């Protein structure tokens, strides 16, 4: 990279720490990664660190069997990625497989920060396919279901971006995402909108429709149509429309859950897309009754 260090004062220190990353001693490596992790909190240090060749060394330390080193390295890389040019350099360094390795093997904080880094990289479209193919989805779904509350937040953001890509949708369903997504539609957890948005992305494939019905998603979706945010109502209506048009059984269940009054309200007062989905559903119900 061709960046001018803004704060060359710390360059000697950074050089020393980077030499220490290559050291055989686990204690020295742990100390050096922990110092670098702290230094990456400041923008001027990030550029110095990246220019001194730390990126490839930190990426190889994602495979360290020492969980502390692994956690420091992934956290330092996450903060280095705040700088767009450094982020591009990280992307160019084959970071995806090592990040998936951290998702699979790391401690709680390392997993969270790896998911956050994957989310950050997934903003780049061409990487979303590679991330899906590299096996990131299964450990992200595990984090979604069994992670800490921060881990769930990091996983749901990454999975939201990945769920936009058609090829990833069946993978996300097969990895078991539907059950935790429905569980996260508890308003107390503050993730309803993101969870419903992922369901709306996924519900274009039949695997997802079947799983949403099977895992008890219908009553929860009807509740979001009634009580959710404007965006939540819109996406919940979109998912229900998919379910109803795919299966008569789902359609009967949606009716049984009392969906008509909240859909009628939404057809009058929702966002334009919500009104359209609600009207299509009500129309679908009327036609279904006639036959
Ligand atoms: C990254 O840097 C910011 C400040 O720029 C700091 O607040 C944050 O704690 C750092 N993140 C981690 C994970 O160390
Ligand atoms: C994620 O990427 C964006 C855009 O490239 C960047 O502005 C942001 O700071 C990054 N966030 C983290 C935590 O790396
Ligand atoms: C992925 O997430 C980032 C950050 O929120 C966003 O800028 C980007 O547009 C998202 N990509 C897709 C395809 O949703
Ligand atoms: C979450 O943990 C439970 C209990 O250990 C396990 O049965 C389940 O498969 C885990 N979820 C995922 C998605 O791996």
Cβ neighbourhood burial of 256 (10 Å; 0-12, 13-18, 19+): exposed
How does pLDDT run across 103-133, given as a tens digit for each residue? 999 999 999 999 999 998 887 778 889 999 9
- What is the H or E stretch that residue 175 is in? none
CATH number for 232: 1.25.10.10
How does pLDDT run across 135-184, given as a tens digit for each residue? 999 999 999 999 999 999 999 999 999 999 999 999 999 999 999 999 99
Point out the ligand nearest to the CA of residue 41: 1
The last residue of a domain, from among 119, 142, 176? 176
Residue 110 and residue 15 in one domain: no
How many helices (H) and strands (E) are present in the chain, helices listed first? Answer: 20, 0
7 pLDDT above the threshold of 80: no
Residue 71 and residue 162 in one domain: no
| Dihedral (CA of 245, 246, 248, 251) sign | negative
The last residue of a domain, from among 93, 127, 142? 93
Point out the ligand nearest to the CA of residue 194: 3
Residue with the nearest Cα to atom 13 of ligand 1? 75
Q: How far is CA 185 from CA 209, 215, 222, 268, 280, in A?
A: 17, 13, 11, 24, 24
Residue 80 and residue 148 in one domain: no
Residue with the nearest Cα to atom 8 of ligand 3? 123
Instruction: Identify which of 195, 258, 254 has the alpha carbon closest to the alpha carbon of residue 229.
Output: 195
Residue 282 has, within 13 A of its CA and on its CB side, a CA count of: 15
Q: Which of 139, 145, 183 is the pocket-test mutation for ligand 4 (most atoms within 8 Å of CB)?
A: 145
User: Cβ of 65: how many Cβ atoms within 10 Å?
Assistant: 8
Ligand 4 centre to CA of 142 (Å) is 7
Residue with the nearest Cα to atom 9 of ligand 3? 123
Residue 163 and residue 242 in one domain: no
Residue with the nearest Cα to atom 11 of ligand 4? 142
| Ligand 4 neighbourhood includes 234 CB (under 6 angstroms) | no
What does pTM read for this prediction?
Answer: 0.90
């Amino acid at each position: 990279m061709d960046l001018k260090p803004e704060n060359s004062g710390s360059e000697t220190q950074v050089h020393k720490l980077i030499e220490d990353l290559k050291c055989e001693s686990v204690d020295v490596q742990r100390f050096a990664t922990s110092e670098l992790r702290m230094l990456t909190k400041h923008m001027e240090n990030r550029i110095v660190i990246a220019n001194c060749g730390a990126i490839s060394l930190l990426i190889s330390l994602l495979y360290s069997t020492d969980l502390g080193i692994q956690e420091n390295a992934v956290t330092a890389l996450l903060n280095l990625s705040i700088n767009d040019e450094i982020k591009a350099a990280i992307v160019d360094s084959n970071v995806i497989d090592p990040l998936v390795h951290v998702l699979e093997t790391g401690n709680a904080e390392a997993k969270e920060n790896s998911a956050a880094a994957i989310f950050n990289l997934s903003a780049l479209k061409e990487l979303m396919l590679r991330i899906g193919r590299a096996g990131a989805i299964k450990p992200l779904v595990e984090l979604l279901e069994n992670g800490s509350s921060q881990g769930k937040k990091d996983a749901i953001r990454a999975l939201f971006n990945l769920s936009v890509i058609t090829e990833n949708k069946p993978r996300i369903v097969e990895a078991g995402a539907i059950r935790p997504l429905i569980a996260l539609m508890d308003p107390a957890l503050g993730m309803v909108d993101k969870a419903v948005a992922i369901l709306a992305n996924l519900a274009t494939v039949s695997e997802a429709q079947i799983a949403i019905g099977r895992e008890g998603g219908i009553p929860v979706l009807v509740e979001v149509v009634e009580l959710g945010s404007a965006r939540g109502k819109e996406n919940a209506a979109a998912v229900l429309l998919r379910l109803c048009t795919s299966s008569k059984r789902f359609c009967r269940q949606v009716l049984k859950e009392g969906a008509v009054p909240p859909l009628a309200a939404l057809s009058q007062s929702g966002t334009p897309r919500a009104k359209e989905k609600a009207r299509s559903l009500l129309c679908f119900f009327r036609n279904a009754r006639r036959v």
